[in-house]
Chain A
Amino acid sequence: MSDTISRRNFLKLSGLSAAAAVLTGCGPAARYVTRRPYYEMPEYAVLGESTYFATTCIECPAGCGLIMRTFEGRAIKAEGNPAHPVNHGKLCSRGLTGVQGLYNPDRIQRPGKRARRGNPTLEPLDWDTALGVVREALNGAGAGVAFYLGLAPDHLYDLVLELTQAIGAPPPVRFGALGMFEARATLVEAVRQVFGEARFPYFDLAGADVVVSFGANFLETWLSPVAYTRGFSQFRRTDGKKRGYLISFEARRSLTSGVADEWLPVPPGTEGQVALALGSLLQSRGWKVPLGAGQVDVEASAAAAGISMERLEQLADRIARAEHPLFLPGGQALAHAGGLVAARNILLLNLAAGNMGRPGGIFLSPSRPDSGSLRDVQALIEQMRAGKVETLFIHGANPVFELPPALGFTEALANVPRVISFASFPDETALQSDYVLPDHTPLESWGYQRTLAGSDRMIFSSLQPVVVPLYDTRATADVLLSAGKLPYNDEVTFLQSKLATLLNEPGVTVEATEIATFWARYLQAGGWWTQQAGLTTPTNQPDLQVEMAQGAAAPEGQFRLITYPTHLGDGSGANRPWLQETPSPSTTVMWNTWVEVHPQLAEKLGLKDDDVVRVTSPSGSIEAVVYLFPAIRPDTVAIPFGQGHTALGRWAEGRGANPAVLLGAQLNEAGDLAYGDVLVTLSPTGRRRPLSRLESRAGVYGEH
């Protein structure tokens, strides 16, 4: 823990308010409660009133600005930072339940050593010993040290990057399930090929009038969901402009497709073909689409996608009439063998629409995409398997849970002599580690997160502790710095040295000439960003052509599987009771895993609602409960991701199933998992397990 924090005289909690609020109400026992006032009143505290701290949500890498309401030293409520360019005061369910992570009773409260991997009990360790272990690991052969980092926070990635450079270790592998599901590497690679720069694209939804989404679930988890929902809201609004029209190509009517004005359930993997066909049709309407040599067989593509030619012509008409059409390449379209081609096709449509750098068009996000692809993870696994990794540090990710077992991460882990996890929660990976040196939870931490793809400007969004760390945890940055390999005293000096490059910049929210002022204002504002929107306009017009993408129909008896992340995010939200209880929007199911089956298919297979069914893919099989979902292709089934934990505390453990088991290890051209190509079979188990749902089955589906 940095010393800087002790400047905040947070109220020490004893049996006060929270307990008081909970325990009183009845009986004379609650008449008097000891109240422990301050030794010295902090200047910012007003008695009986809330104190608000600006910080950043790092539940997902989008980096929304938070204003945390605290009261007498307790974090009460996460609210959006209205000034923050990413979320403008808005938040999603995940961010809102941040306090349930902070105050989770299953947190790892102190550092510990595991006698045997997989054994849930941790032998307590004092921090000096723990730091000694880290120091020893870092002092060893640099090449034998590997880091596996999650998608957030960015400052830790920057620090580890410096650290690995300093000790001569390979750069950290940064990977997370959310990136896997949005096929992030494919998207970035396609942007690189089309626009010449490996950047995240930023789509200006607000300014578009027709948006064509190819499996982009931008209202749920895609890139920066809150920002895109805000953009969608602008796009849909009619104040002085035309109402935006959303067309969605997706095999399953997801939340995003649900609000689409037109939903076309194309088979997974044919999105690239649809883009090609649309391009061909648009060319005949005067667009300059760089079509490849040879005749594009529009009718064949339409047939493969199961769309009638009339419908496709109508769509092309509508798009051609639009002033600002926008095409979104989403993860569902990209996670296939031909995913990169599909991504390129879709981006080329944007190019043909003249969308580069205009309102309602496409921009390049300022921040550098530093997350890796699954290929990088595979390389790491190879290293691990070969015994070349002596120490593996894991932070912010749960690879044992979220990587498909077919990749063999867990088995490779057995060949790593020392695994050090910085997990705050006893997740599956922490269970397989030798040492657990718990980091603070985000609401107790310092740091920054750069904008990802949800904003039109560069942002260093600040993280600061809003409460005193609850337990004997320590910031991972401090733990790593304690080895003395980098010239920073602690996390805060590291952060300040990074932020010092932002001093004296004009036109930004935090204008300061020296770091102390900058730091104070930066924390207060919730981060640093430019006053004016500033994005790179992609200008590079490469000599690329729209290509035919592959797409095969599923063989008889097998079904394409769609796996999609929910508000549980990468699965780490499963230990938040309120995320579990928040109904899944399209099915209203709570607390479990279901498999969405179209009623027609179910009838064919003799399945009923709430039947437990075994889903088998070449890589493995799970059991899940059937949900008869009317808005999915009858040759496709869908399973939400995030449940099926074997660890992670009382609310997550033993609940539902983990569809990662079904995903194979096939990668696409850009090194992303081709999870969209997985074929599964369904076999009834004969058991039933009623799903807990908000809706009335009788009322909505007429079943009894």
Chain B
Amino acid sequence: MAEQQETRERWGMVVDLDLCTGCNACVTACAMENNIPWVGEEEAGYGRNMFWIRVQRTWEGEYPEVSPAYQPVMCQQCGRAPCEPVCPVFATVHSEEEQINLQVYNRCIGTRYCANNCPYTARSFNWYDYTYQIPAPMNYYLNPNVTVRRRGVMEKCTFCVQRIRAGQEQAKAAGRTLQDGEVIPACAQACPADAIIFGDLSDPESRVSKAARSQRGTTLLEELGTQPKVTYLKGGGYYGG
């Protein structure tokens, strides 16, 4: 194939809450892939944690019918993202190419306006040079494909854009198009229950498109009109069984 067609993906994610066990493997996987620093006991408890994805655990009902509800929440990669217009320097911008929200760390000046305006609390701020405090040689495992963030910049889930880029690059070098399932973010890759499905929403046959069309599908805070790219499949025993 001499000239490849420029294809444009629309990346999306589906989280099946009926399958999610709440085990937090996605949290750890994300941290290890994306060079997310840990912040220690005191800071983590004071809302300085750097999770790009976190599992919200809420309770439903009263004992003995009390039941935990787990919901992994990450950046929803909104189609109309509230974070984007408020950044004074275009550090968080919409990628027309990938249809996701980008956070350009080296452009960020740290107004934290985007984080205030994010209804999903999906953003984390580097209050200190956390990553630089990692004692050697533990910094050896830092992923060279992901920028190490310095203090004073905002960061958030990128749908593992480095993997998207690598996948596209690999496919292009081989002269083919991306296959469904070829690019998956670290959370979906690790998820032991396979509750996170990732793929191209513009391909109606992709696994994620099929899952997103499920009747159980809902998006978070739909009333805000943010057009999230993440669909949650509601769980619970009210159907089937």
Question: What is the interface of chain A, defined by CB distance below 8 A to chain B?
Answer: 13, 17-19, 21-22, 25-26, 71-72, 74-80, 87, 89-93, 96-97, 99-100, 102-105, 219-220, 225-226, 229-230, 232-233, 236-238, 242-243, 245, 253, 255-256, 258-259, 261, 263-265, 470, 567, 577-583, 585-588, 590-592, 598, 600, 630-631, 634, 655, 690-695, 700
User: Closest 7 CB pairs between A and B?
Assistant: A692-B45, A591-B41, A243-B240, A229-B192, A93-B28, A99-B141, A581-B38
Q: How far is the CB of B225 from chain A (nearest CB, A)?
A: 24
CB proximity of A586 to chain B, nearest CB, Å: 6
CA distance A655 to B21 in the complex (A): 27
Contact of A258 (CB < 8 Å), options: B22, B141, B192:
B22
The docked-state distance in angstroms from the alpha carbon of A75 to that of B32 is: 11
Q: Nearest chain A CB to B115's CB is how many angstroms away?
A: 16
A-chain residues with CB within 8 Å of residue B23 when the two chains form the complex: 92-93, 219-220, 229, 255, 567, 585
A238 CA / B235 CA spacing, docked (Å): 11
Q: Mark B37-66, 1 if CB is under 8 A from A, else 0.
A: 011111011100101001111110011101
Q: Is the CB of B28 within 8 A of A578?
A: yes
Enumerate chain A residues within 8 angstroms of B41, measured Cβ to Cβ. Answer: 580, 590-592, 655, 692
Contact B138 A91 (CB under 8 A): no
Contacts of A259 in B (CB 8 A): 20-22, 70
Looking at the assembled complex, report how far the CB atom of B18 sits from the nearest CB atom of chain A, in whole angstroms.
6
Docked CA distance A174–B135 (Å): 34
When distances are taken between beta carbons in the complex, the residues of chain B under 8 Å from A26 are 150
Knowing A103-B141, A590-B44, say if A583 contacts B24 (CB, 8 Å). yes
A630 to B57, CA, bound (A): 12
User: Which residues of the partner chain B approach A226 to less than 8 Å between Cβ atoms?
Assistant: 192
Asked if B70 and A258 sit within 8 Å, CB to CB, the answer is yes
Q: A229: nearest residue on chain B (CB-CB)?
A: B192
Shortest B146–chain A CB gap in Å is 9
| B8-25 near A? 1/0 per residue, CB < 8 Å | 000000000011111111
Q: Are B59 and A96 in contact (CB under 8 A)?
A: no
Q: Give Cα distance in the complex from A232 to B27, angstroms.
A: 20
The answer for the CA separation of A17 and B40 in the assembled complex, in Å, is 26
B177 to chain A, nearest CB (A): 21
> A92-B25, A105-B135 are known contacts. Are A690 and B45 too (CB-CB below 8 A)?
yes
A25/B189 in contact, CB under 8 A? no
Whether A91 lies near B190 (C-beta < 8 A) is yes
Q: Name the residue on B nearest A48 (C-beta).
A: B144
Evaluate whether A76 and B144 lie within 8 angstroms (CB atoms) in the complex, with A103-B137, A236-B19, A691-B45 already known: yes
Q: B residues 154-188 with Cβ under 8 Å of A?
A: 186
Contacts of B240 in A (CB 8 A): 238, 242-243
- The answer, among B40, B70, B142, B194, for a CB contact under 8 Å with A585, is B70
Q: What CA separation (Å) do A472 and B131 show in the bound complex? A: 27
The distance from the CB of A17 to the nearest CB of chain B, in whole angstroms, is 6
User: Nearest Cβ in chain A — how far from B43, in angstroms?
Assistant: 8
Identify 13 residue pairs between A and B in the complex whose beta-carbon atoms are under 8 Å apart, listed by A's number. Answer: A25-B150, A91-B29, A93-B29, A99-B140, A230-B192, A242-B240, A578-B31, A582-B31, A585-B22, A585-B55, A586-B22, A588-B57, A693-B45
Q: How far is it, in angstroms, between the C-alpha of A19 and the C-alpha of B140 when the chains are bound?
A: 7
Inter-chain CA distance A693–B44, complex, in Å, is: 7
A583 touches B139 (CB 8 A): no
Interface residue B193 (Cβ < 8 Å from any Cβ of A) = yes
- A588-B24 Cα distance, complex, nearest whole Å: 10
Cβ-closest chain A residue relative to B135: A105
Contact B150 A21 (CB under 8 A): no
Given contacts A255-B22, A580-B38, are A100 and B141 in contact (CB under 8 A)?
A: yes
- Structural contact, B144 and A21, CB atoms closer than 8 A: yes
Given contacts A78-B32, A93-B27, A580-B38, 10 further A-B contacts (CB under 8 A): A13-B140, A80-B189, A96-B25, A96-B190, A226-B192, A229-B21, A245-B237, A631-B63, A631-B67, A695-B56
Which of chain A's residues have a CB closer than 8 A to the CB of B137?
Answer: 18, 103, 105, 470
Chain A residues whose C-beta falls within 8 Å of the C-beta of B18 in the assembled complex: 236, 243
Instruction: State in angstroms the CA–CA spacing of A25 and B66 once bound together.
Output: 49
B44 cross-chain contacts in A, Cβ below 8 A: 581, 590-591, 692, 694
Contact partners of B192 in chain A: CB under 8 A: 87, 90-92, 219, 225-226, 229-230, 233
The interface residues of chain B lying within 8 Å CB-to-CB of A71 are: 143-144
CA distance A19 to B142 in the complex (A): 9
Contact A692 B42 (CB under 8 A): yes
Chain B residues in 8 Å Cβ range of A691: 45
For residue B93, CB closer than 8 A to chain A, the reply is: no
Q: Which of A25, A75, A225, A579 contacts B28 (CB 8 A)?
A: A579
- For A631, give its contact among B39, B66, B195 (CB under 8 Å): B66
CB pair B63–A77 under 8 Å, yes or no, is: no
Q: Is the CB of B189 within 8 A of A79?
A: yes
- A683 CA to B61 CA in the complex, in Å? 29
B108 within 8 A of A: no
Tell me the minimal C-beta distance from B90 to chain A in angstroms: 20
Interface size on B, residues (CB 8 A): 64
Does residue B136 face the partner (Cβ distance < 8 Å to A)?
yes
With both chains docked as a complex, state the minimum distance between the C-beta of B89 and any C-beta of chain A, in angstroms: 18
Cα–Cα distance between A21 and B131 once the two chains are bound (Å) = 11
A693 (CB) vs chain B CBs: closest residue: B45
Across the interface, A694 reaches (CB within 8 A) one of B49, B67, B237, namely: B49
The answer to whether the Cβ of B128 comes within 8 Å of any Cβ in the partner chain is: no
Given A22-B131, A630-B59, also A219-B27 (CB < 8 A): no
* A residues in contact with B141, CB < 8 Å: 18, 74-77, 99-100, 102-103
A581, B21: Cβ atoms closer than 8 Å: no
> Are the CB atoms of A99 and B67 closer together than 8 Å?
no
A311 to chain B, nearest CB (A): 10
Determine if A91 and B25 form an interchain contact, defined as CB atoms under 8 angstroms apart. Answer: yes
Enumerate chain B residues within 8 angstroms of A74, measured Cβ to Cβ: 140-141
CA distance A691 to B56 in the complex (A): 17
- B68: A residues at CB distance < 8 A: 253, 258, 586, 631
B28 near A97: Cβ-Cβ < 8 Å: yes
Q: How far is the CB of B16 from chain A (nearest CB, A)?
A: 8
Which residues of A have CB within 8 Å of B54?
A: 583, 694
A556 to chain B, nearest CB (A): 20
Q: Decide: B189 and A585 in contact? CB cutoff 8 A.
A: no
Please state if B32 and A97 are interface contacts (CB–CB under 8 Å): yes
Which partner residue on chain A sits nearest B192 by CB separation? A229
CB closest residue in chain A, given B22: A585
Task: Report Cα–Cα, A592/B62, bound state, in Å.
Answer: 27
How far is it, in angstroms, between the C-alpha of A394 and the C-alpha of B126 when the chains are bound?
A: 42
| Residues of chain B contacted by A592 (CB below 8 angstroms) | 41
The interface residues of chain A lying within 8 Å CB-to-CB of B148 are 21-22, 25
The CA of A231 and the CA of B29, in the complex, are separated in Å by: 20
- Residue on A nearest B138 in the bound complex, by CB: A103
> Would you call A90 and B140 a contact (CB within 8 A)?
no
Least CB distance from A688 to B in Å reads 13
B142 touching A237, Cβ below 8 Å: no
Asked if B191 is at the interface of the complex by the 8 Å CB criterion, the answer is yes
**Min distance, Cβ B228 to any Cβ of chain A, angstroms:** 21
Q: CB-CB < 8 A to A18: which residues of B?
A: 137, 139-142
Given contacts A263-B67, A598-B63, contact A232 B21 (CB under 8 A): yes
Q: Are B70 and A590 in contact (CB under 8 A)?
A: no
The distance from the CB of A320 to the nearest CB of chain B, in whole angstroms, is 15
The answer to whether A89 and B19 touch across the interface, beta carbons within 8 angstroms, is no
Which of B22, B29, B64 touches A263 (beta carbons < 8 Å)? B64
Whether the Cβ atoms of B67 and A253 lie closer than 8 Å is yes
Q: A25-B150, A77-B32 given as contacts; is B24 within 8 A of A585 (CB)?
A: yes
Alpha-carbon gap, A253 to B112, bound state (A): 38
B39 contacts across to A, CB distance below 8 A: 581
Q: Shortest Cβ distance from A411 into chain B, in angstroms?
A: 33
Q: Are B66 and A253 in contact (CB under 8 A)?
A: yes
Q: Which residues of chain B are near A263, meaning CB under 8 Å?
A: 64, 67
Q: How far apart sit A79 and B67, CA to CA, in the bound complex (Å)?
A: 32
* CA A690 to CA B192, docked complex, whole Å: 32
Question: Which B-chain residue is minimally distant from A634 (CB atoms)?
Answer: B63
Question: Given A105-B137, A219-B23, A258-B68, do A631 and B28 touch, yes or no (CB 8 Å)?
Answer: no
B135 — which chain A residues lie within 8 A by C-beta?
Answer: 105
